[in-house]
Chain A
Amino acid sequence: MNKHRAVRMLAAGIVAISLSGALAACGSGSSSDDSAGKVYYLNFKPEQAQDWEALAAAYTDETGVDVTVQTAASGTYETTLKSEMAKSDAPTLFQVNGPVGLATWKDYAADLTDTAIYEHLSDQSIALTSDDDSQVLAIPYVMETYGIIYNKALLDEYFALPGAAATSVDQITSFDTLAAVAEGIQANKDTLGVAGAFTSAGFDSSSDWRFKTHLANIPLYYEYKDDGVTGQPATIKGTYLDGYKDIFDLYINNSTTEPSLLSSKTIDDATSEFALGQAVFYQNGTWAYNDIKGQSVPDDDLGMLPIYIGAPGEEDQGLTTGSENYWVINNKSSEADQQATKDFLEWVITSDAGRDSLANTMGFVTPFDTFGDYQSTNPLVLADAEYQAAGKTAVTWNFTTMPSEQWKNGVGQALLQYAQGTGDWDAVRSAFVDGWATEYELAHANA
């Protein structure tokens, strides 16, 4: 009996220990002191993943506060965020991509009115607020610019050819000139030693946002401007879709790649085609610099052109500038964690290490007034500054008003079908205009 009891006690003990170990492991991930708070940042930008991790490590060294940085793979941010937010150790800091993104996550957004990142905004009106304007919920931390990145050296080679459509990049101020130059390059691609005028317009999910979102912004911008639209309209007319078609045709017909292969082309394909000097033009933004630099195209040869679609008055059009990177602090985290996160962000925008990393390593233009001595050296950012100095009007980022991801996907897939020749342009028009009305209705019915 005694022996039995001893065995039973032993067995029960083993089970209890192993279970408590397993359960404890689920409960708390970090062993550090919880009262000091900790930071868990779910980062949106894969191209800056390592820079953020280095910055986090530097902060931990300096202050002893735990900072975890997790980066979602390209195109999977919403997925990752949704599952991470359901965990007990949810991100204390995450990102939304603008007003439409904030609408999804507003229940999780803490008030940022008294934070350093709000106080230091050069223009406080760019922060996103709650519906009644009583709370500041999301703050942009980087202003970005996109357009058509070009290779100056290759372009100059083309300009030197007899019969070139232009003799200097300054002459490219409209769609017609851009088209003539691109077609000229395509016709002379063997002389110039390139595979095509434009990089592949890939429709893999890592790349298709360049066309269904960023390119689609241009016709949207002109339509909003004509109609005086400021918020998110319930319906759109598609006034400038012919221009959208023209520029898209230019991309796919004067490129390194057959249109029937576009469905499998990734952003890496496009980046490497440009970085290795196989194409002259590449539609992307300032963030692409990290992937281009250090390859065969030197920094001095990098420039950026506005995306022209043949709209009236486009001679004065500048690059497309805005933000879809807004910081949001999770109001469901503990007070200590929220405070730790605010302190971390203050450090990021005021300390030397933080400012150096944001401006120089990551190459960002930030909207904060603390960056006086830290101006970006990113040549693509400098290209934007030149356009602004020349008095050109920057195109705004209106794609943050697009009704849903589904709308973008609809447009993207219709564009791909059109490019492959398995669909026609009417499908794009319908995905654009009718899709907008449908998705707007659905998104608001489900809000």
Chain B
Amino acid sequence: MKRTLIRWGWLFTGPTLIAFMIGFVVPFVLGVYLSFTRFTTVTNSTWVGFDNYLGVFADGTFVHSLWYTAAFAIVTTVVINVAAFAVAYMLVKAFRGANLFRSVFFMPNLIGGIVLGYIWMLLLNGLLGIWARSITFSATYGFWGMVALMCWQQIGYMMVIYIAGLQSIPGELIESAEMDGASRSQTLWNIIIPLVMPSITVCTFLTITNGFKMFDQNLALTNGAPSRLSELLALNIYNTFYARTGFEGVGQAKAVVFLLIVAVIALIQNRLARSKETQA
């Protein structure tokens, strides 16, 4: 068996591996290299050392979007997870049409971010128009607009993960808790939540990283307006790279810094959440 794997494994992993190299590893290595160079197009660059990294924090817009994105990630993580868990908790109970509701909640996730952004822009502008305002009026409007959009899109997806977690809890545990006279909220806090901790780990990981990485919805909904105040990190990097002549390297350096920030946060989150997981 093992010999067959060694002999034939490359046939099955090879194509994917090549695609992975072309689509991920090469651009990643090239990107890190480019962050130390000055260039106009990515095929024509000269080495400048750490110059670009000095420009990253000198740019006030980067620091602003860093805090703006952090706030955004925290708010969406809390709201999405609480809401997704609540919806899942309701929908695991067998009742007429439960499957229909599950599908409906999941559907927003099937629509692409750009389309969602434009649709929500029309919706929110229509609503705000009553007060003669629009979504790009100020950074606060943009922030809550994006939170609403993000929640609408992701709650259904996280709900599916929570449903899977809830369904894997053995029925006897809940039954014995009932027999011991535990109230509903005691069962929830002391039995169910500790047992769905693996789902919570996964969902918080996904929502935190999604919050930090959000790009297309931001682009379509506010495009950073007004004054680049509603610009999340990914859009800030994109705008530095493409919209500012001579700042391509700084944009690239920002992307590397961004990668490090998200990686560190994701690792810490994962460690913290895993330590709380228990086995039934």
Residue B245 at the A interface, CB < 8 A? yes
Interface residues in B1-57 (C-beta closer than 8 Å to A): 11, 14-15, 18, 38, 40-44
Interface with B: A184-192, A248-256, A258-266, A383-391, which one? A258-266
Query: Bound state CA distance, A258 and B128, in angstroms?
Result: 13
Contact B133 A261 (CB under 8 A): yes
What number of A-B contacts does a CB cutoff of 8 Å give?
82
Q: Which of B41, B129, B225 counts the most chain A CB atoms within 10 A? A: B41
Chain A residues with CB under 8 A of B223: 205
Contact A406 B244 (CB under 8 A): yes
Residue A181 at the B interface, CB < 8 A? no
Least CB separation from B249: chain A residue? A446
SS of A interface (majority): helix
Residue B264 at the A interface, CB < 8 A? no
Chain A residues with CB under 8 A of B246: 104, 442-443, 446-447
Asked if A260 meets B247 with Cβ closer than 8 Å, knowing A85-B41, A105-B40, the reply is no
- Mask, A405-428, CB within 8 Å of B = 1, is 110010001101100101000000
Least CB separation from B245: chain A residue? A104
Contact A420 B137 (CB under 8 A): yes
Least CB separation from A431: chain B residue? B227
Least CB separation from A79: chain B residue? B242
Contact A86 B242 (CB under 8 A): no
Chain B residues with CB under 8 A of A104: 40, 245-246
Asked if A413 meets B40 with Cβ closer than 8 Å, knowing A104-B245, A406-B244, A446-B246, the reply is no
Contact A260 B132 (CB under 8 A): yes
Query: Bound state CA distance, A406 and B227, in angstroms?
Result: 11
Residue B112 at the A interface, CB < 8 A? no
Residue A36 at the B interface, CB < 8 A? no
Chain B nearest CB, measured from A351 CB (Å): 33
- Mask, B246-268, CB within 8 Å of A = 1, is 11100000000000000000000
Interface with B: A11-19, A48-56, A360-368, which one? A11-19
Interface residues in B111-138 (C-beta closer than 8 Å to A): 121, 125, 129, 132-138
29 A–B contacts from the bound complex (CB under 8 Å): A11-B11, A15-B14, A19-B15, A19-B18, A78-B243, A78-B245, A79-B243, A82-B40, A82-B41, A85-B40, A85-B41, A86-B42, A104-B245, A107-B40, A203-B225, A203-B226, A205-B223, A205-B225, A260-B133, A261-B132, A263-B137, A264-B121, A264-B125, A264-B135, A406-B244, A416-B225, A416-B227, A420-B226, A446-B38
B contact residues vs A (CB 8 Å cutoff): 11, 14-15, 18, 38, 40-44, 121, 125, 129, 132-138, 223, 225-228, 242-248
Q: Which 7 pairs, one residue from A and one from B, show the smallest C-beta to C-beta distance?
A: A446-B246, A264-B134, A413-B227, A263-B136, A86-B41, A79-B242, A85-B41
